[in-house]
Amino acid sequence: MTKQHRHLVFVTFLVSCAALGLLLVSISSTNWVISNPKCITLPNTQDSDLNYGLFTGSYTRPLSQTDKFGLTMICSYEHNICGLSCLRTAAERKNELEQLYNGERPKFNCARYIERSKRSILTRNTTTVFADTKNDLTFINNGVHFATIWFLCIAIILSTTTCVITVINLTLNPVQPILNIFGLYIWHGVTCLSILIVILLWGIHFATTITHNVGLRDTIVNDYNSDGRSSLGYSYWILLASMLLHLINIGVLLFRRHLISQEAPTLAAPSEERTDGAIYLY
């Protein structure tokens, strides 16, 4: 059991739990990207409202009587692309993504009720080609999306591990370096590295791709324009807070080590003086 400045170790446990909570909120929430795409076909129409996370999201489309409906991230490993679909079944979503990749214009079929005056705009022929080449299309990169989820899951596992090992040091006295206080430096550091990779992966992909096209059916077929109308949501930014908390824990542990070094007893040097005739018995 850690006895010296045990309260500081307990503080790192609380901070680790908070950091883990932020990671869980990040991966489960739907505010990684926020956007207000503008309708191109009807310029006077109110802007739509879109937000999504790594798995799901929501979309409000003023052209439809249905105010809001859910989005699901669908990916194609064959074409290395991902997109957002509001269709109900996985087969329908996969078929829609395939049509978009082939340059076709799939019918918008998410809302239950469609205004008659706008039905012609929302139900275009699925065989219509809107892109001359696949280079004209913009999707979310499947590799980046998969790597983001992968490293975020690793960060969650590592963050959970720091909590467990901290409890072990509060209750036991492990001798293995990877399990004692020294090991906590490694666990916190590797967790920070994993979170940093997630931040860089998604941040760079957003700046180079998503900020120009959010990967929705409406924006891919150029019915709506999201170029410059998107931003990163709180689900992304709390990753920075989680990484900062792990760095704070490293700082707290370093401060604890400094206090322990200051309290280390100083051994007096042996005296060279010697009394003549003295007899030493051992």
pLDDT digits (tens, 9 = 90+) for 89-114: 999 999 999 999 999 999 888 754 33
What's residue 264's pLDDT?
Answer: 60
CATH number of the domain within which 77 lies: 1.20.140.150
Please report whether residue 274 resides in a domain.
no
Please report whether residue 278 resides in a domain.
no
Please report whether residue 279 resides in a domain.
no
- Calculate mean pLDDT across residues 149-178: 94
Rounded Cα distance, 243 and 16, in Å: 10
Please report whether residue 265 resides in a domain.
no
Domain containing residue 126: 6-259
Using alpha carbons, select from 130, 86, 89, 131 the residue that is nearest to residue 109.
Answer: 86
Please report whether residue 166 resides in a domain.
yes
Please report whether residue 276 resides in a domain.
no
Range from 103-117, 166-180, 197-211 that averages highest in pLDDT: 197-211
**Long-range pairs for 212-216: beta carbons < 8 A, 24 or more residues apart:** 212/138, 213/138, 213/139, 214/33, 214/35, 214/37, 214/50, 214/52, 214/84, 215/82, 215/83, 215/84, 215/138, 215/139, 215/140, 216/37, 216/50, 216/59, 216/71, 216/83, 216/84
Q: What global pTM score does this model have?
A: 0.85
Q: Confidence band (pLDDT; 50, 70, 90) for 45?
A: confident
Please report whether residue 266 resides in a domain.
no
pLDDT > 50? residue 273:
no
How many domains, in total, are found in the chain? 1
- Cβ(257)–Cβ(75) below 8 Å: no
Please report whether residue 273 resides in a domain.
no
